Amino acid sequence: MYNTILQFKDVNFSYHSKAIFENANVEIKEGEFIFLVGESGIGKTTMLKLIYFDLFPDKGTIIFDKYNSSELDKTDIPELRQKLGIVFQDFKLLNDRNVFENIALPLYIAGEKKEAIKRKVYDIASLVGLMNRLNDMPYDISGGEQQRVAIARAIVTDPLFLLADEPTGNLDPFIALDIIKLLLKINMNGTSIIVATHNFEIVKRFQNRRIIQIKDKKLYDVRVKS
């Protein structure tokens, strides 16, 4: 039986006096792959920010791993975030560093030794199909490859949970499909993953995966009709 890795318990959250969540509840187990769906602006990014404690609920509790929003000391947030990988729609790569250095950045920050960094970056680059791009600059590779760099950087520290915010939003449909397949491959290695998206065409292709919808300020498990 898999353990629970994330819980929202009666979560309320408002932004600029606008209610985003009201008594929202969800439970996610270790190793799950989840599509988080909903129209643009409904709260998908807000939910991810609540998970990595960039935001805190106005009411209710969020529990990730051993961390509880009601009891969390803010000095624990850096340690908590080491257990999370985050992928952004706009990649957020550093254009003054090559692909290797972008992937390695979290390892540099963690104080890993040079040889360990090299080994880990090569392992991840091989997994995501970037071995022949490590010396290239981000602006010299395609959008799909840039997103692969962002994913590699997010998983190089072997996080418990990967949060992907509209990871296919800036990509054409064929490349977007490849990115989802890559995330599924990463999930098969044991990493829990949430993919926030408003691309229902992508979701329909993977209906065997759990789908959580934000609707009416709550979180619902749904099935999407083909």
Q: Looking at the structure, do residues 184 and 79 belong to the same domain, yes or no?
A: yes
Indicate if 66 and 122 belong to the same structural domain. no
2 and 68: one domain?
A: yes
Same domain, 152 and 115: yes
The enclosing domain of 74 has a CATH number of 3.40.50.300
**Can you tell me whether residue 198 is helix, strand or coil?**
coil
This prediction has a pTM of 0.93
Q: In the 3-class helix/strand/coil scheme, how is 126-149 assigned residue by residue?
A: HHHCCHHHCCCCHHHCCHHHHHHH
Question: Final residue of a domain: which of 105, 132, 158?
Answer: 158
User: 204: which residues sit within 8 A by CB, 6+ positions away?
Assistant: 224, 226
Residue 170 and residue 154 in one domain: no
| Residue 25: pLDDT over 60 | yes
Report whether pLDDT(55) > 90.
Answer: yes
Same-domain check for residues 78 and 18: yes
Which domain, by its residues, includes 23?
A: 1-83+162-226
Q: How confident is the model at residue 200 (pLDDT cuts 50, 70, 90)?
A: confident
Residue 153 shares a structural domain with residue 191: no
Calculate the alpha carbon distances from 49 to 57, 61, 141, 166, 191 in Å: 10, 14, 29, 13, 19
Distance CA 161, CA 29 (A): 10
Task: Identify the pLDDT of residue 225.
Answer: 59
**What pLDDT, on the 0 to 100 scale, is given for residue 207?**
80
Query: Do 181 and 226 lie in a common domain?
Result: yes
List pLDDT tens digits, range 86-109.
998 888 999 999 999 999 999 999
pLDDT computed for residue 224 by the predictor: 60
Chain-centre distance for alpha carbon 44: 11
Query: Amino acid identity, residue 124?
Result: I
Q: How confident is the model at residue 178 (pLDDT cuts 50, 70, 90)?
A: very high
Residue 223, pLDDT above cutoff 80: no
Q: Please report whether residue 88 resides in a domain.
A: no
